Structure 1
Amino acid sequence: MYYKGWYHLFYQYNPNDTVWGNIVWAHSVSRDLINWIALEPAIYPSIPSDKYGCCSGSATILKDGTPAILYTGINRPDINYQVQVIAFPKNASDPLLREWEKPAAYNPVATPVGGINATQFRDPTTAWYADGHWRMLIGGARGVRGLAYVYRSRDFRHWTRAKHPLHSALTGMWECPDFFPVSASGLQDGLDTSEPGAKYALSDFCSLPSVRNTRQNT
């Protein structure tokens, strides 16, 4: 993410060991994408929704320029029960975005209800805006079929699941789905996730990308 002259890189990190566990969001910043400065973790367990871990997610720049982070929290010690959590900068004027807060009024923003497998419901994508709604995807599974659930919101705080997933396939759990714009005119520059008229590529860890229109099944 690029914000106020700095590139921000967030990544999964165990501050206590070299194996998976005790997961937080490490945070490094750079002016040039070559030289990086490691900061304190940006996201770490601090509320009931993420008490047992802060797993993968994404960052989105809202229409007013404010960054927001969506990520998967683990909120039960007995099973890997997954919910989606939102965080905003504590001080948006800080270009390094060193502190983030998780509003109790909104969190968790999505829970595994309506037959969703609570242990396979994670990795919200960077959101995109169209037709008056923000949309994001969340990876899931039903049996051996991987799913890309669609959630939408008008205010980026209250989210509702669409009736049908964007896509499903016999791939197993869809880890870290991604849905990003691809220029229809052949331009080589990168596009904002909300670019009007763009085609979108859907991909994840388990399957090859496919190109879809944002209006399909959303």
Structure 2
Amino acid sequence: MSRPQLHFTPRDHWMNDPNGLIYFNGEYHLFYQYFPYENAWGTMHWGHSVSTDLVHWKDLGIALYPSKPYDRNGVFSGSAIEIDHQMVLYYTGVIYTAYKGDDIHRQGPDAFEACQVMLTSKDGYHFDNQQKHIVVPTFADDDPIGHRVHTRDPKVWKQDDRYYMILGSKFLQPGHTKTTGQVLIYESLDGQQWSYCTRAYDDTIGTMWECPDYFTLDQQGILIFSPEHIYKEEYNSVNMWTKATFDPHSQTMQIDPEIQLLDYGRDLYASQTALDEQGRRFMISWMRMPLPDQDQEWIGMMAYPRLVSYHDQTLYTTVHPHIDELFTQPTTTFSSREARKLLVTLQDGQSINIGGLVLTYQNDHLLSDRTQVFPQNQIGTRFETPTLNGKCELAIYTDQYITEIYVNSGRYVLSQIVYGQHDTIISQVAYQMFKIGA
């Protein structure tokens, strides 16, 4: 079976967004959007895996599945939080109002309704799918706050003595012909009864915002979200971040107008964060794949878990130490089927070709070209970073089907899905390479 050596993949068929990421009772729990019948998106379930170290994962099968009238067509994305020593899951339940042809697993255009649902587990292993209930009902068509179809992906956190939920949504502003992406924030004293607080939006960024996540690093609020209809290509949605401030007393959220890409490779999407066993903020993200693995057994993987930090007025992401510390054995042999770490510094005009993926430092930008190792379709093959201020130091992590490029200590990252890499590196400059130690 063709699988990455370290990157997380589903046991079979389709996987997309990470859900319910949490460190609970000494273990990491990773849930994810899962369609167990085909290598394509369909009626969503939550797959479930656990790990003690973010490296070795134990598959536990399906945790959540459609079981109620209000989620009969899908258990969409959501989050997890610990309340009173129990794991509480929040997700979006979906009803289709029309099918795509005669396929019961796929809806017609905008032909569904969404509500927000919660379920509690005492141990994080057993989930009673009959003991669910709605906490934020479906919006009416004329509701001025949220959208009946496109309100989803609850992320819940505790701040002071209250719980807060952030939702992705959209709305139509008066006089506009296109909708505006937004986040909605709700408040609760107990995690069960919720009331609306506020909204925040930027009408220059996308027509719908999904998979939002709000957290604080070094007293700076950070908003991560995935706006839709940013590009004309097939992947028209991207993962972005910005500085934001949520004030629970005035019930307002202010969003900084400088909104940036979270990853410049554009395959990465729907990132979700949690705290690790040391209280450090880390992130797991879905890597979109246009084709399944060569054995046609699975499609979709997660990028490496990344530490998230904020300094010098910007966000940095780096490979989590639990992963990074595995690369202790120097090697001169590159294998596209095994995990590798490369360290290289490029000067202007220099390039390195990693099995067909070409990285070039030119005019103070890092350029990535995967034309040789990616199917020719409507998804982009050439990407670049913003200006790098005269320095291009790279930590490059490769594994089967994926290369992650961390630029200048994680100031920028380009994550790339690749197919058919060969086992040769052609470089104009010296580099170091490491494999997993014994």
| TM-score tier (shorter) | 0.7 to 0.9
Normalising by structure 2, report the TM-score. 0.42
Of 122, 126, 133, 1:98 maps to 126
Displacement of 1:102 after TM fit?
Answer: 5.4
CA distance in 1, matches of 2:131, 2:188: 16
Of 20, 28, 38, 1:17 maps to 38
Displacement of 1:139 after TM fit?
Answer: 0.8
Equivalences for 1:1-218 in 2 at 5 Å? 1-62=22-83, 64-78=84-98, 79-89=111-121, 92=122, 94=123, 97-101=125-129, 103=131, 107-111=133-137, 112-113=139-140, 114-115=143-144, 116-130=146-160, 132-143=161-172, 144-162=179-197, 164-165=198-199, 167-170=200-203, 171-184=206-219, 199-206=220-227, 207-215=240-248, 216-217=251-252
Instruction: Please tell me whether the aligned partners of residues 65 and 129 of structure 2 are also in contact (alpha carbons under 8 angstroms).
Output: no
Displacement of 1:101 after TM fit?
Answer: 4.2
Q: Determine helix, strand or coil for the equivalent of 2:224.
A: strand
Instruction: Please tell me whether the aligned partners of residues 150 and 169 of structure 2 are also in contact (alpha carbons under 8 angstroms).
Output: yes
Residues 147 and 177 (structure 1), Cα distance of their counterparts in 2 relative to 1, 3 Å cut: same
Ranges in structure 2 where 5+ consecutive residues have no aligned partner:
1-21, 99-110, 173-178, 228-239, 254-438
Displacement of 1:99 after TM fit?
Answer: 2.2
Displacement of 1:77 after TM fit?
Answer: 3.5
Stretch of structure 1 that moved more, 135-144 or 207-216 = 207-216
Give the share of equivalent positions with the same residue, in percent: 30
Question: What amino acid is the match of 1:11?
Answer: Y
Question: What amino acid is the match of 1:84?
Answer: Q
Instruction: Please tell me whether the aligned partners of residues 40 and 98 of structure 1 are also in contact (alpha carbons under 8 angstroms).
Output: no
Normalising by structure 1, report the TM-score. 0.82
CA distance in 2, matches of 1:108, 1:80: 16
Cα deviation 1:33-69 (Å, max 9, x = unaligned): 111111121111011221110001111112x222111
Ranges in structure 1 where 5+ consecutive residues have no aligned partner:
185-198
**1:193 matched residue in structure 2:** none
Bigger CA radius of gyration = 2
Question: Superposition RMSD on alpha carbons, in Å?
Answer: 1.8
Instruction: Please tell me whether the aligned partners of residues 14 and 24 of structure 1 are also in contact (alpha carbons under 8 angstroms).
Output: yes
CA distance in 1, matches of 2:112, 2:215: 28
CA distance in 2, matches of 1:178, 1:4: 23
Displacement of 1:182 after TM fit?
Answer: 0.8
Question: What amino acid is the match of 1:119?
Answer: V
